[in-house]
Chain A
Amino acid sequence: MALRLLSLALMLVAWYVGAQVAGPRMLPDPQSVALMVVSEAQSGALAFNLGATLLRVAVAFFLAMALGSIMGLLMGRYQVADWLGDPWLVVLLNLPALVIIVLAYVWAGLTETAAIAAVALNKLPIATVTVREGARSLDRGLDDMAQVFRMGAWVRMRHVVLPQLAPYLAAAGRSGLSLVWKIVLIVELLGRPNGVGFEIGTAFQLFDVTRILAYALAFVAVMLVIETFLVQPIERHVTRWRPRTA
């Protein structure tokens, strides 16, 4: 913990020194960025834009994770589903994020639906591939056990299958959350009238580096809070059965 704080302090020092060298136009010092965060917070703009972005992140993330988990599970367990789904997956995986976003806006207009669909589509194939890997490595022995003891479909899913998928779901969720929020910013930059991405786009046109840093750091702070108070406790709960290494 002490080392982490030390490392963080070093980062701030480096930033401060860099600001002195580069000048306030290229890299404003930490103090002026902090002041910008406070003034944006006071006007209510910060909360409004953070909220808008967070909502998009949440909806796109859950859509992509839910669909990706279902598809991954089907493709991992049934060969036919894998054959059918794999070409789509390869196409989606290799389509640049920007192409998906632009096409979504062209086809569905500059709407909220298009924005969220574009983000979800970008995340979907990665979630699917990760969960498929998990579904392929499901323990056949436990499957047989569940069948012999005639466990119902829900019991099997909840107590036999999902716990085995948990590490894969966690991996997909972890990488997914950071990916989704980065793509949400691009989507906002290109076609939404609010959100962190929109603010950064405006600041870019005005060459306002202070504002760019203020919004970016504020959002990173929000994601850190989510990681610490939501993701990590869930992970601890899911892995409680593992013998602790001393």
Chain B
Amino acid sequence: MSPVGDLGRLEVSVKHKAFSAATGGTLRVIDGLTFSLGRGEVGALVGPSGCGKTTLLRIIAGLDPDYEGSVGLPDHGRLGMVFQEPRLLPWRTLEQNVRLAAPNATDADLDALFAALGLSAHRHHYPGELSLGLARRVALARAFAVHPDLLLLDEPFVSLDDALALRLRDELAELVTRRPVTTLLVTHNVEEAIALADRLFLLSPSPARVIAEVPIERPRSPRSPEELAALRGAIARKLKGA
């Protein structure tokens, strides 16, 4: 694992990452991508689909050691992660799924988490008995239950219907406000990023690098439609100007 970041910051510097293509030759996915995130901040990596966001997240999570560069994790480097799919163990109940990932979580802690995510009634259900929306919440509960030093979210609301995605996003915003944790969110949805993050990192198309950093004023608070439109416009211009 990589050295611990300075002062509890997340420091990412991936100089080079490539895959060998099936047809021979190599495919450059990431090229000179650098950013850092302060303790307790929520950062959002925003970029077009297929620009290497998931690859970057896997590198930060230590799942892909095959790259040039360095990753410094905040504090003790304890990770909580929500994958694109819930990735629950189908043969264990919800509660067991969370407890297996977070063996040190207290009962009170779990009670509060389950209540906050509307899962209390389902503790003893198996994942196969749940809708995708509920399974996503379990994945969120699992990630929070470990009290991570860094929370990684890989498109956590993808393939949910809009209303449900919106509700889960609000719940997540509330959770992050209530128990601050350094969080890195990967998304292709600009609105989602604005609603959740302290700062946005805009990524170029593949090979990915950071083309602009956009701090968000008054993060996770209600915004007027005009304000939102102005922010989106500014971000769209930056994405195009790359």
Contact = CB atoms under 8 A, between A and B. Distances in A.
Interface string A128-160: 000000000000011011011111000100011
Interface string B45-71: 000000000000010011100000000
A137 B90 CA distance: 16
B146 A149 contact: yes
A182 B92 CA distance: 37
Prevailing SS type, chain A contact patch: helix
B85 A141 contact: yes
Prevailing SS type, chain B contact patch: loop
A163 B62 contact: no
A147 B83 contact: no
B234 interface: no
Interface string A150-174: 1100010001100100000000000
Contact of B83 (A144, A150, A151, A243): A144
A26 B101 CA distance: 65
B87 A142 contact: yes
Interface residues of A, number: 16
Name, among A141, A149, A242, the residue most crowded by chain B CB atoms within 10 Å (CB to CB). Answer: A149
A160 B62 contact: no
Contacts of B152: 148
Name, among A145, A151, A160, the residue most crowded by chain B CB atoms within 10 Å (CB to CB). Answer: A145
A48 to B, nearest CB: 42
B179 to A, nearest CB: 18
Interface string B110-145: 000000000000000010110000000000001000
A73 B226 CA distance: 59
B87 A145 contact: yes
Contact of A159 (B58, B78, B81, B89): B89
A146 to B, nearest CB: 8
Given A141-B83, A159-B89, A159-B91, 6 more contacts: A141-B85, A144-B58, A145-B81, A145-B83, A147-B62, A242-B128
Interface of A: 141-142, 144-145, 147-151, 155, 159-160, 163, 241-243
Nearest 3 interchain pairs by C-beta: A149-B101, A163-B91, A241-B91
